Structure 1
Amino acid sequence: MITFENPLFLHLSWGLLLLLLLYVVYRHWQAKAQLRLGDKALVERLYPGRSTGRSHTRFGVLLLAYTCFVIALANPVLPLSEEKRNAKEEVAMVFAIDVSRSMLVSDVLPNRLTQAKKLVREVTAALKGEEVGLVVFAGKAYPYLPLTTDYRVIESAVKVISTEMVPRQGTSFEEALKISSLLLTSRPQKARVICVLSDGESHTSQYGSLADSLSKAGVYVFSFGLGTEAGGHVPEQQAEGRQEFKKDKQGALVVSRLQEKNLIRLVGVQPARYARLGSAGNQALHFIEDIRQLPAPVATAKAPAKKELFQYFLLAALLLLVLELLIAPGKGVARFKRTGT
């Protein structure tokens, strides 16, 4: 059943009676003024394009436009069912993407970072109303894209993510969780999700308690691992066209391996919220199914969901005004045939 958020504006509908009264008075005055010019036949010859029916039609269109404006101001809303409310529009998620140089290791082809970006694109391509934000992190974390449902913008933003975006190297899950949670603070009424994509090579140890605090605050943390136990060498900037790899202080090649235990620690007591990327099945769809089943915060679960309809009445009013302009009052110039004497 449609209700109104601002019902007081409906009192403006009394203006319809006032407009109708003014129109009747105006038409009466106009008729008397025309009679003063002469008889009716002469007036019709002087103004051959005038049409009483057309004037009535224009006024009727204006009344309809006014009615639509009043309804738009009252803001009609349509209650949504619980199923529609909790399925899609009630989810806000942030992808925290590791952009440390170890994400360029090619133990998963073509490299870890490319696989992470591919997952984000696959997820957003299948979304229908969920909000998505992006955070990039290495030794520091930075908000890259605020929450939005414009999936084309998200796809374009993901394409240009690179390891050059964060100058401070390393991997700080604590920074990633902090910045991601900040993006979600404006959505307390939704199921809030942080999804970390990393190889798990953390250089800090304080993130465990932060992840637990987020869980208690109603923020759900998921993680995806990129890489293998065998690992691979970390590429560095090319010199003279040659591919070089990172070495330790003794000159030995550094091997970067997937550290799953750190990523499992991120999800706390919910190990099912961790997955190794590329391990099995369509992980993007599985992830979407999981987040759509998350409950909304208890404090807002009982708040009725609704769809605002004012924009449709506003559009109708504008279209009616355009129609009124197209119904121009007929005007003409009287023409008299000259007769010879």
Structure 2
Amino acid sequence: MTFQRPELIGLIPAMLFVVSVAILGHWRRGVRLVDAYGGRQAAFRLIGRRVDLFPSLRLVSSFLGVALLGSVFSGIAPVQPEEAPVTPVDLLIAVDVSQSMTGNDIEPSRIAWAQRLVEDIIGAGVADRVGLSIFADWSYHLVPLTDDSDVVSFFSPWVVPSLISARDQGTSLGVLIEDVIEEWERRSRPDASPVVLVVSDGEAHDSQDMVITSTRSAVESGATIWTAGIGTVSGAALTLTGSTAPLLDGSGLPVVAGYDEELLRQIADVGRGAFHQIEDEASIRSLIADLRSVSGRTETIEEPASDPTVWLLLIGLALLVFEALLDAGLTTRRAP
């Protein structure tokens, strides 16, 4: 407990002294009155109550009442828990919108889960600033780093493969990471922790060495690279956009969307981030909880300590009223 006006606490002993002098003085007058009336029985017949009993109950109730009211007037208040320090986070979300993300091995589709992931992350408020990019063979910045989450939410439905040209349907994770880091460096803050979240099936067309080299460069610049994998090892046969006809390669064979979990894990490991497999709502919540840990945020909101002022005031007044009833002799009437 703390006191907003601690200088008033020193008045409580003085008030207790005054109250005790008044009550004891009243008791002494009662004793002298009994002697003047010729004894307890004569005094009781005339007054109707005992006035020579030591007022221990009156003293206790008045002392407690004065102490409680003095605490209220001193501005007693609960000690609020200190908030844990929070590190500002700049989160850059990069979503793979290559043709392989239309695979439906995870219903309704990989890209649908990517959209849901982006929306849930934005809604959870895990970062101070958020940027949104899409990528295939090249990356495109939909939303630069901003503290207006509504802007990012507005563009999240545009995270679809049809947004980019048909000739740009590869997946270049290395180019993406380099481009996203350049975007952050243009808008960097010295006190912020940059986090890049790559949402992809990991089916990259560039070499693994190139991807890992880009990841190391990102770490050297101060960023951490997280990955969210969407897909299954069995993959899914792709269809032509707007049709149920299978998509065929140059040899006339159906194109199957692959999934490279191992590469995504390596990126997260080298990037000093974390890998999360996205397959249901629980996995999204797990990723969001881990992202909160970067800044020190917590999902649970601590309830502020309750203010005891009202209760102390009511109890203090009740004790003083009780003392007044004792003084008036309305609570007990004892025969001599």
Same-fold call, TM cutoff 0.5 = yes
Q: Counterpart in 1 of 2:255?
A: 254
Match of 1:229 among 215, 233, 247: 233
Q: Is residue 207 from structure 1 mapped to residue 211 from structure 2 by the alignment? A: yes
Partner of 2:290: 290
- State the match for 2:149 in structure 1: 151
How big is the shift at 1:128? 5.9
Query: Is 1:134 matched up with 2:125?
Result: no
Q: How far off is 1:97 after superposition?
A: 0.3
Equivalent position SS for 1:282: helix
Q: Is 1:220 equivalent to 2:221 in the alignment?
A: no
Aligned twin of 1:195: 197
Distance in 1 (CA, whole Å) between partners of 2:273 and 2:177 is 19
Query: What displacement does 1:141 show?
Result: 0.6
* Secondary structure of 1:237's aligned partner: coil
Amino acid at match of 1:178: E
Determine helix, strand or coil for the equivalent of 2:248: coil
Aligned to 2:169: 169
Quote how far apart the aligned CAs of 1:247 are.
1.1
Q: CA deviation at 1:85?
A: 3.7
Between the aligned residues of both structures, percent identity stands at 27
Question: Aligned-pair RMSD on alpha carbons?
Answer: 2.2
In 2, are the aligned partners of 1:116 and 1:226 still within 8 Å (CA)? yes
Matched AA of 1:248: D
Q: How does 1:55-66 map to 2 (within 5 A)?
A: none
Aligned to 1:294, what secondary structure does the other structure show?
Answer: helix
Write out aligned runs for 1:314-333 (5 A): none
Question: SS of 1:177's equivalent?
Answer: helix
Contact 2:105–2:231 (CA under 8 A) maintained in structure 1: yes
- 1:197 and 1:223 in contact (8 A); partners too: yes
**CA distance in structure 1 between the aligned counterparts of 2:272 and 2:145, rounded to whole angstroms:** 26
Q: Which residue of 2 aligns with 1:57?
A: none
Q: How many Å apart are 1:199 and its aligned residue? A: 0.8
- C-alpha displacement of 1:269: 4.0
1:111 to 109, 112, 115: 109
- Letter of the structure 1 residue corresponding to residue 108 of structure 2: P
Q: C-alpha displacement at 1:289, in angstroms?
A: 3.2
The structure that has the greater radius of gyration is 2
1:83–1:183 CA distance, 2 compared to 1 (3 A): farther
Give me the TM-score of the superposition, normalised by structure 2. 0.58
Q: Which amino acid aligns with 1:100?
A: S
Structure 1 residue 129 displacement after superposition: 5.5
Structure 1 position 277, deviation (Å): 0.6
Provide Cα deviations, 1:172-212, integer angstroms capped at 9, x if missing partner: 00121122112221223211100000111100011111101
| Residue 198 to residue 118, structure 1, CA distance change in 2 (3 Å) | same
1:245 partnered with 2:246 = yes
User: In structure 1, how many angstroms separate the alpha carbons of the residues matched to 2:272 and 2:233?
Assistant: 19
Pair 130,230 (structure 1): closer, same or farther in 2 beyond 3 Å: same
Residues 63-104 of structure 1: CA deviation (Å, up to 9, x unaligned) = xxxxxxxxxxxxxxxxxx883442xxx001101000101110
Show structure 2 runs of 5+ residues with no match: 1-81, 297-336
Report the equivalent of 2:265: 264
TM-score when normalising by structure 1: 0.57
Q: Distance in 2 between matches of 1:152 and 1:91?
A: 17
Counterpart Cα distance in 2 of 1:250 and 1:138: 23
Instruction: Give 2:114's aligned amino acid.
Output: A
Other-structure match for 1:324: none
Superposition deviation, residue 113 in structure 1: 0.6
Partners of 2:91 and 2:127 within 8 A in 1: no
Provide the C-alpha distance between the structure 1 equivalents of 2:213 and 2:174, rounded to a whole number of angstroms: 9
In 2: Cα distance, 1:231 partner to 1:115 partner = 15
SS at 1:227's partner residue? coil
